[in-house]
Amino acid sequence: MMSINPFSVLAETISPAAIQFFVLAMIALIIIGTIIQMIHHKNVTYFFNNAKKAKLSADRELGAAEKTSVILKTVVHDIATTAELGAGKRRVAHVLGMYGTILFWVASVVMVFCYTGKEIMTPTIWPMIWHIGAIMTCVGGYWFWLFLRVDVLAEAHPWYRIIKADLFVLALLACATTGLAWSYFQSSNSMGLSYLFLILFITSNIVLFGGVYWSKFAHMFYKPGAAIQKNLAEADGSRDNLPPLADAPKQFGLGIKREQPKHY
């Protein structure tokens, strides 16, 4: 299953153009959803107002080279390794899910646009990436969903409680899971189940990308912006009004911060 491009098999029944149109439609949904959210929430206005205010309490002006360096460091460290989540399971789960989804989406686009024509052979690397991406998304996502969600871990809500905040992660998991199931049943020729999971896969994608306005989807764009702003504020001394790091050696170990936030 892992080396078969499920889209090219599908292209035998549905025209490649239709599949490609669907992908483009999903991309359009992301853009539209995010833009409408930004307009309604005026979050860009807030963001730039805040940056202007912060500049007033800056100790120093940052040069272009310095700014670039901070931004690059932020991208490579904070964003690429989800540093904000600190050391621990949540970060591992997020990194797994994040790269899994990236691989899954990239491989989807590549396979749909480059390898769905008749008689075009898909190099095995791409279906491998697609399936591995989906599996990584499932591992990170289900781990998060069942055990690591803060409302489950710190507030003792049952794992099956669904709230609006779960829209993104559940839709994403649905896509990855149904995608894998579709690929499996299609490659083993169980046509009924294959179609079932294909329809579910299509639906999950529509929910995921159509729900951008209501879900936490767009946070994947906002958070990197916030991380860059935070590191620039740290560099120019404004630091969001926080005091600077203390000038003292790290000699006492961890106290109450050594434990997980689960004391009940």
Binding site residues, other proteins, CB under 8 A: 84-86, 90, 149-151, 153-156, 163-166, 216, 222-223, 226, 229-230, 240-246, 248-258, 261-264
Q: Smallest gap, in angstroms, from Cβ of residue 171 to other proteins?
A: 14
- The angle subtended at Cα 47 by Cα 42 and Cα 49, nearest 5°, is 95
Q: Which is nearer to other proteins, 12 or 240 (CB)?
A: 240
Q: Smallest gap, in angstroms, from Cβ of residue 47 to other proteins?
A: 8
User: In sequence order, what are the residues at sequence separation of 6 or more whose Cβ sits closer than 8 angstroms to the Cβ of residue 40?
Assistant: 213
Q: Which is nearer to other proteins, 43 or 187 (CB)?
A: 43
CA 28, CA 209: separation in Å to the nearest integer?
Answer: 9
Q: Smallest gap, in angstroms, from Cβ of residue 40 to other proteins?
A: 14
Q: Which is nearer to other proteins, 57 or 190 (CB)?
A: 57
Short-list 235, 257, 181, CA closest to 69: 235
CA 100, CA 142: separation in Å to the nearest integer?
Answer: 13
Q: Which residue has the tokens 């860059």?
A: 228
Q: Smallest gap, in angstroms, from Cβ of residue 46 to other proteins?
A: 9
Short-list 127, 117, 126, CA closest to 15: 117
Q: Which is nearer to other proteins, 69 or 161 (CB)?
A: 161
